[in-house]
Amino acid sequence: MGASTLPGLDEPVALHVHDLRGTAVTIPSEAGCSPQPIATITGHSLKTVTVILDRYLARTRALAD
């Protein structure tokens, strides 16, 4: 995908198609969904959803605030 500028960051960040996977899982989680419905919606296994949340969720600005 190439480098993109993200809100709140001054330097470009290299994004990959796999980053969309993290976004598709973290947004419903931030909205209050538990891992089981997220797995059902995205087609991931429950284990994969948990791994994605462990990796990406702690990095979201909403949770940091």
Phi, psi of 53, deg, nearest 5: -65, -40
Give the residue from 37, 35, 36 showing the smallest Cα distance to 54.
35
Q: What pLDDT, on the 0 to 100 scale, is given for residue 16?
A: 76
Q: What pLDDT, on the 0 to 100 scale, is given for residue 49?
A: 94
Phi, psi of 4, deg, nearest 5: -135, 155
In Å, what is the CA distance from 47 to each residue of 25, 44, 50?
12, 8, 5
Look at the block and give the residue holding tokens 């198609």.
17
63: amino acid identity, one letter: L
24 versus 4: which is more confidently predicted?
A: 24
pLDDT tier at 61 (50, 70, 90 boundaries)? low
2: amino acid identity, one letter: G
Give the tens place of pLDDT for each residue, 10-57. Answer: 777 777 777 788 888 988 998 999 999 999 999 999 999 999 898 887
53: amino acid identity, one letter: L
